[in-house]
A and B are shown apart, each in its own frame.
Chain A
Amino acid sequence: MPDTMQSSPVGPIAIVSHTHPSVTKGGAEIAAYALYEGLRRIGADAIFIAACPAADRHKLILGSDREFIVVTDPLRYDHFYQLSSSDVWRQIKSILLRNQVRLANFHHYLNLGVNTLRALAAETDIPFAVTLHEFLAICNHHGQMVTRPARRLCDQATPTNCATCFPEHSRQQFVMRRNLIQSALLPAAGYISPSHFLADRMVAWGLPREKFVVIENGLRNVGKREARNRALVEGTPWTFGYFGQLTPFKGADTLLDTIELLAKQPDIDKKIRIKVHGNIVGQTPEFVERFNTAFARHSFINFAGPYDNADVRTLMAACDYVLIPSTWWENSPVVIQEAYAAGRPIICTGIGGMAEKVPSRRSGLHFRINDPADLARVMGEAADEVLYQALCSGLPDVTDHTAMARDYLATYGRLLKYRAEAEAPANLTRTSARRRGRAAAAAQVAAAAGE
């Protein structure tokens, strides 16, 4: 993108996040904050708005006076319909108007409420875009489109299927949920998705394809990629690293089962090392006990515990491959970009956003979901110098946060331009345009409901 874009009169832009990265370390908020910093780095006028529970305010570390906090009360939030107290909208509206924001880019509506989006469309002229990081609009199961309790992959949400996963809610409630969230998202000027996979899913759900743009999440520090010189470590076992929280959705069970299979191979500790970086979250006591036992028993595996994001490149550099055995679709996990930045190919489940970001046998290898034997087979295949070098040479370039910001800025400019064109001719009042937009959104919801 030409540098002249950085002086494009698109601003102030509000980047709105459901939480602040100084409080939680999820991918969405990190990506949102990286975008905000990227915009500022390229000279765009941007502010960052983040929701924060009142009880967590002491954890906040704000980088500048362009960062604003919306104080929320978790007890006054409904997680099924994603509805917040109207006080949240009052705070956001005040920030937007006070800073004369020209466009708001929501990176989530969790904690903020879809009612905030509806109120924004109804009460102001400020256009908004929504960056989607997972399928929460479609799926009530943490937005991951995995059934419960069986945890099978779900291809399509229907009210009947959703009521099967969540028998505590009625089918009609899922119809209402879909209609509500669609009515909140449809007035958006545009949608940004880090992956085509997620965009396709959202389009299938009911959002207009023409409003979608795919922009990869950028890393704050890309740095220089360093290839692993296997010659220097000749004779050492092939090292596979896992990075991230050991949640059930991240394939921790698959990893543990694979470890058990590999342990049966003779002299495995001479061939393979597995390093696990992260902390155990949301697992049963049985899993924790099994995990601790395995790591105590087998010498070829090492549990390194939690890590600081700033050290992830160094930690990955000590591995040959990065393992991503997730059991949900994933969108664009930041660990993929970090592995590429570290110059490491990836072994991942061949589904969803992972399959899109890690082309098989080009920048990594795929294995079948929930199949430890297949993972073990692929790891065995990966332990090959020729293949390894081929995969390393196939690693794509990594976007940094300023490049991401430029792409976003260009998108904002287009959205504002389209908006201005839509509001012509001059005798069309803003109010009636807003109403027509709402009416069109309502009609789309109604049409989708009738399908």
Chain B
Amino acid sequence: MTALVVGTALAAGGPVSHRGFIDMIDCAQGVRGWALDLFDLSRAVPLQLMVGDLVVAETRPDQPRHDISDALGEPVAPGFVFDASVLARATELAEATEDTIAVRIAGTDLRLGISGESPTVGDVIQQLRRLNAPLPNRSNTADLELLLEDLRADAAALGELALRPLPENLQGYIEALAIDTSGQVWMIGWMRRGHLTEFAAVISERRKISSAIAVMTYTRDDLPADACGIIGVIASSWRPTSGTSEFFVFFGSGGRFHLRSHAPIRLITPSDLIAEYEAVRERCLGEGRATALQRMLGSLENWLPTRSVGQAYATETSIDRVLLVPGLGCLVEGWVVSPMKRVDGLRLRIGGAAMTAVPEAIYWKPRPDLLAAFPGSDALVQRAGFVALFAGDAEPEDFADPVLKVVFQGGGAANWSVSPKVFRRLGHSATLEDALLFFPALQEESFFPRFAEAAIRAQRNAINPPVPMSITHTRRALICVLPEDRCDLFLVFEEMAHHCRAGGGIDGVAFVASATTNRSDAMWLFREFQLSQGVPCSLLVIDDAAHAFPLLPDILREIGANRFVFLGPGVFLTEGGWRHARQLLRTAGPDLVFFGLEPDSFEQRDIADNVSARCFAWTTAHFVRWSLTAAPYLGGFHRENGLFKSNVAHVVHHGAARTSRTVLPARIQEAVNSAVYSSGMGALSMGANV
């Protein structure tokens, strides 16, 4: 039956008395609109949320709408909301991504109108992915500067108001100020929690001056739980002077809140500011623009390289190798010989990022190879070598002019340029195993969870989308990742041809090849398969077979499948597996089904029923939704990649076999994956890449 769209004209008459409209369908705000019965304005018309022809939720309007009330001349409550979570759930229940979202008056064929075309399930899924994508990089100082400019402009209106420092609105104190060489004013103090970390403000010291504040927060033991320490910038034309005794910073809606300065205010140098920051750096909470502020602080130091010749300290140092881990910092191995001054700390600057050697992640080693260069310095040489983690937010895109700063006890420091040749980058020119060269027991280090996160992020960033070589759309597909082994490559195509000939249930096949030496064989085997079998088939190429699982949403989108069976590299269905695969592709059902692998390898020992993400069947909608919060494991697979944990699943016992000999992953890879698996590090969404 054809759906009748309910009109919005609020005049009685016509074949139906219902009126209504969908104002928005939004992943964050849900489905909102209004509906009423002109003949009975007090009756809340029952409404149904539809996905295609499927009713997924019901509600009744109960929200007042002043615009409708004004139009009718009497108060009515025709507004309705289907929550955002309901909309997300609707995508799970959809059978096809082309199904449209609509609202219907229950018990009728009347559908509410909407501006433009009704969105489809696919549109909503795309919105969800964007919504769950990681936040954009907030470490950029230029971005912070622009924000401060905007906030300062907003503060002009605040300055027009009468601002009074009422005691009950006091939110904290500014304890110290510093002015850097560029004239930027920095502040140290404390503030009650719950406020934004960047806000428009007005400085009041005999006159009101528009400003913008950006702070980093950190925990302080001397403060109650509802307060935190702050270090940040005051962007304005105001400058404290030696005559500054007391001032206020008003902020919040209507200038309601204020910070008060100590009287007199403590003016400190940029070096002291940095020292105070260093003392609390580890406790800084990474909210807002904290990273950008840290970079700004880093730029305050003097990083010009100094030469040892002419230096009274006669200090020498060199860096042997550096492993840059974006999102964590740098693992550094080098040596420093300082005959006169004890070394108190090490710092490393790369581009705009200044990093400090983490005290709990530094150790010293003897360097007997330096004896020839430093005769008579046996004691020094015994502890000349160092390995350290320099924590910070060094980005490869910002790689420039690396400098090592050796800080001496009692003050003073010396800077050395570091050759770019000693740098390697994790996930690009260095592997996890290279990290073990620095810290052999890496997984026991306190920073390992952050390292694991960075390693996963590095892999995610290295994954390129699949290249479609030949695409034929199919609603139900076997997704087969081609193996590296040439023999098995032949077997895959033969088994697929054999079972396609057997008929029934195999509606489409997608082969996923990796861009390796077997690519050519894959291409001619695919072409022969395509010519000889009457089954819609596709071929896509990816960089690495290990990327196939995280790229599965892209692959499914390319071929247009809404149900699939996934076969990882080197996985073959048994005869029983084939029977179930055909059945699963044919019949409806949202359940996740694993094909239990024959117990022939170490990695299945710990998993019940030999369940693995290497072979499973599901609907595209469910899988894509799950993938929004799933992490890409190193090597592509780890146990069942978390599929089993969050979903009810069935298992086809002895449904598949894996021909590739189990290569136990490197211990460090296993440790990273286990950390991700245990912590549910799902914020590293795969969806961000596509």
- Chain A positions within 8 Å of B, measured between CB atoms, are 76, 78, 80-81, 83, 85-87, 90, 115, 118-119, 122-123, 169-173, 175-176, 180, 183, 435, 438, 442, 445-446
Minimum CB distance partner of A77 in chain B:
B490
Contact between chains at A169 and B575 (CB < 8 Å): no
Q: Which residues of A contact B490 (CB under 8 A)?
A: 78, 81, 83
Q: Which residues of B contact A170 (CB under 8 A)?
A: 659-661
- Main DSSP-derived SS at the A contact region: helix
Contact between chains at B600 and A86 (CB < 8 Å): no
Partner of B659, one of A76, A87, A176, A183: A176
Q: Which residues of A contact B558 (CB under 8 A)?
A: none
Q: Which residues of A contact B494 (CB under 8 A)?
A: 81, 83, 115, 118, 180
B528 within 8 A of A: yes
Minimum CB distance partner of A180 in chain B:
B491
B507 within 8 A of A: no
A-B contact pairs, 24 of them (CB 8 A): A80-B487, A81-B490, A81-B491, A85-B524, A86-B531, A86-B532, A90-B532, A118-B494, A122-B501, A122-B502, A170-B659, A170-B661, A171-B661, A172-B600, A172-B659, A172-B661, A173-B485, A173-B487, A173-B488, A173-B659, A176-B491, A442-B575, A445-B575, A446-B575
Count of B residues near A, CB < 8 Å? 27
Partner of B487, one of A81, A87, A183: A81
9 closest residue pairs by CB, A with B: A170-B661, A78-B490, A80-B487, A83-B490, A173-B659, A122-B501, A86-B528, A172-B659, A115-B494
Q: Which of B558-584 contact A (CB under 8 A)?
A: 572, 574-576
- Main DSSP-derived SS at the B contact region: helix
Q: Which residues of A contact B485 (CB under 8 A)?
A: 173
Contact between chains at A87 and B528 (CB < 8 Å): yes
B152 within 8 A of A: no
B89 within 8 A of A: no
A108 to B: closest C-beta gap in Å: 18
Partner of B491, one of A83, A85, A87: A83
A221 to B456, CA, bound (A): 74
- Chain B positions within 8 Å of A, measured between CB atoms, are 485-488, 490-491, 494, 497-498, 501-502, 524, 528-529, 531-532, 572, 574-576, 598, 600, 657-661
Partner of A172, one of B486, B528, B529, B658: B658
Q: Which residues of B contact A118 (CB under 8 A)?
A: 494, 498
Minimum CB distance partner of A173 in chain B:
B659
Q: A170-B659, A446-B575 are in contact. List 6 more A-B contacts (CB 8 A).
A: A81-B490, A86-B528, A119-B497, A169-B487, A173-B488, A438-B502
Interface centre among B491, B497, B502, B660 (most CB of A within 10 A): B491
Q: Which residues of B contact A446 (CB under 8 A)?
A: 574-576
A30 to B: closest C-beta gap in Å: 29
Contact between chains at B600 and A78 (CB < 8 Å): no
Q: Which residues of A contact B572 (CB under 8 A)?
A: 176
A442 to B575, CA, bound (A): 8
Minimum CB distance partner of A435 in chain B:
B502
Given contacts A115-B497, A172-B658, A173-B488, contact A85 B598 (CB under 8 A): no
Partner of B598, one of A172, A180, A183: A172
Minimum CB distance partner of B485 in chain A:
A173
B375 to A: closest C-beta gap in Å: 53
Minimum CB distance partner of A446 in chain B:
B575
Interface centre among B488, B528, B660 (most CB of A within 10 A): B488
Contact between chains at A86 and B497 (CB < 8 Å): yes
A446 to B575, CA, bound (A): 7
Q: Which residues of B contact A442 (CB under 8 A)?
A: 575
B643 to A: closest C-beta gap in Å: 23
Minimum CB distance partner of B662 in chain A:
A170
Q: Which residues of A contact B598 (CB under 8 A)?
A: 172
B522 to A: closest C-beta gap in Å: 13
Q: Which residues of B contact A176 (CB under 8 A)?
A: 491, 572, 657, 659
Q: Which residues of A contact B501 (CB under 8 A)?
A: 119, 122-123
Partner of A85, one of B528, B575, B600, B658: B528
Q: Which residues of B contact A78 (CB under 8 A)?
A: 486-487, 490-491
Minimum CB distance partner of A167 in chain B:
B661
Q: Which residues of B contact A123 (CB under 8 A)?
A: 501
B669 to A: closest C-beta gap in Å: 21
A409 to B531, CA, bound (A): 37
Minimum CB distance partner of B597 in chain A:
A172
A83 to B492, CA, bound (A): 11
Contact between chains at A76 and B524 (CB < 8 Å): yes
Q: Which residues of A contact B575 (CB under 8 A)?
A: 442, 445-446
A438 to B575, CA, bound (A): 12
Q: Which residues of B contact A87 (CB under 8 A)?
A: 528
Q: Which residues of A contact B600 (CB under 8 A)?
A: 171-172
Q: Which residues of B contact A172 (CB under 8 A)?
A: 598, 600, 657-659, 661
Q: Which residues of A contact B502 (CB under 8 A)?
A: 122, 435, 438
Q: Which residues of B contact A180 (CB under 8 A)?
A: 491, 494
Q: Which residues of B contact A90 (CB under 8 A)?
A: 532
B570 to A: closest C-beta gap in Å: 9
B106 to A: closest C-beta gap in Å: 50
Interface centre among B488, B490, B532 (most CB of A within 10 A): B490
Q: Which residues of B contact A76 (CB under 8 A)?
A: 524
Q: Which residues of B contact A80 (CB under 8 A)?
A: 487
Q: Which residues of B contact A445 (CB under 8 A)?
A: 575
Minimum CB distance partner of A169 in chain B:
B487
Minimum CB distance partner of B491 in chain A:
A81
Q: Which residues of A contact B658 (CB under 8 A)?
A: 172
A230 to B572, CA, bound (A): 65
A170 to B600, CA, bound (A): 10
Interface centre among A78, A118, A169, A183 (most CB of B within 10 A): A78
Q: Which residues of B contact A83 (CB under 8 A)?
A: 490-491, 494
Interface centre among B494, B497, B532, B660 (most CB of A within 10 A): B494
Minimum CB distance partner of A174 in chain B:
B659
Q: Which residues of B contact A122 (CB under 8 A)?
A: 498, 501-502
Q: Which residues of A contact B531 (CB under 8 A)?
A: 86
A169 to B570, CA, bound (A): 12
A123 to B: closest C-beta gap in Å: 7
Q: Which residues of B contact A183 (CB under 8 A)?
A: 498
Q: Which residues of A contact B497 (CB under 8 A)?
A: 86, 115, 119
Minimum CB distance partner of A78 in chain B:
B490
A327 to B599, CA, bound (A): 37
B274 to A: closest C-beta gap in Å: 58
A434 to B486, CA, bound (A): 31
B539 to A: closest C-beta gap in Å: 16
A166 to B: closest C-beta gap in Å: 11
Q: Which residues of A contact B524 (CB under 8 A)?
A: 76, 85
Q: Which residues of A contact B498 (CB under 8 A)?
A: 115, 118, 122, 183
Contact between chains at A175 and B491 (CB < 8 Å): no
A122 to B499, CA, bound (A): 10
Q: Which residues of A contact B488 (CB under 8 A)?
A: 173
A118 to B572, CA, bound (A): 18
Interface centre among A87, A169, A176, A438 (most CB of B within 10 A): A176
A397 to B: closest C-beta gap in Å: 44
A98 to B658, CA, bound (A): 41
A76 to B493, CA, bound (A): 13
Minimum CB distance partner of A83 in chain B:
B490
A79 to B: closest C-beta gap in Å: 8
A83 to B498, CA, bound (A): 12
Q: Which residues of B contact A85 (CB under 8 A)?
A: 524, 528
Minimum CB distance partner of A76 in chain B:
B524
B598 to A: closest C-beta gap in Å: 7
A78 to B574, CA, bound (A): 21
A90 to B528, CA, bound (A): 11
Minimum CB distance partner of B657 in chain A:
A172
Minimum CB distance partner of B488 in chain A:
A173
A180 to B502, CA, bound (A): 15
A114 to B598, CA, bound (A): 24
A183 to B494, CA, bound (A): 12
Q: Which residues of B contact A86 (CB under 8 A)?
A: 497, 528-529, 531-532
A161 to B: closest C-beta gap in Å: 15
